Amino acid sequence: MIINPYPGTYFAFEGIDGCGKTTLVDMFLAWLGGIKHLSVRRTKEPDKNGLFGRRIYEDLSRPNGLHVTNPALFQGWYACDSLINIRDNVIPVISKKNGAVVSDRSRLSMIYGAKNIQEVYELLNVNNGILGVHFIWPDAIFVLDVSVEVAIDRLKRKGRTLDGHESEDKLKTARELYKLVANPPEDESSIRNDFPNCHLINAEREIDITLDDVLKIAVKILNRRGQLTTPPEA
């Protein structure tokens, strides 16, 4: 991976399904829209309309799809989808001083293909091999943390039919790995270096409070990149 080497800014929102990513992305984009002269693009991984995105969502609806029979190969589809997104959508924007990208999921979602941290590292190697120079790592990844019970309740209230990545066991494993990567214990601090710029955010609180925590981090990054020359409109 390459930590964003471009003059623009790259943000991503992560977490288990039902954590509130889409809502927070909407609110964050609205806030960014108040910053004058900033050109903002929203992206989502995987892309349901893309070649690999369509394959992924179709497979997840099958009880015995590739996500069950060959999870490692299945994660390769995610990496290919991400390669296209970063190459065609992310880099053209962040290569400009006034550019900013906000992504609903990023390559940290490889966590869904792992049962433990060792498998996460194996998938990191797979992603490095597929994306190569296009493996651009965000300036900040906001990992929205909620309990599995809260996540499932939110998904059901939306009328969602749970797919192959949304079983209770899968969500529990993914949540623990997200927490480990975003807030590793002191004796595993090397994880923070291998998966940098991750920020664990409690997303079970009022949405405005959650957003405030995101904005505190984002403001520092935007200031560092010289993009926050005037306060955004409320």
State yes or no: 141 annotated in a binding site.
no
Residue 132 to residue 107: CA distance in whole angstroms:
13
State yes or no: 16 annotated in a binding site.
yes
Q: Which two tokens stand for residue 17?
A: 């399904």
Nearest to 18 by CA among 111, 180, 115, 145: 145
Residue 16 to residue 57: CA distance in whole angstroms:
16
Residue 6 to residue 32: CA distance in whole angstroms:
19
State yes or no: 43 annotated in a binding site.
no
State yes or no: 198 annotated in a binding site.
no
Q: What single-letter DSSP state applies at residue 125?
A: H
State yes or no: 3 annotated in a binding site.
no
State yes or no: 161 annotated in a binding site.
no
* 135 close to 1: Cβ distance less than 8 angstroms: yes
Q: Which residues are part of a known binding site for ATP?
A: 15-22
In the annotated binding site, the residues are: 15-22
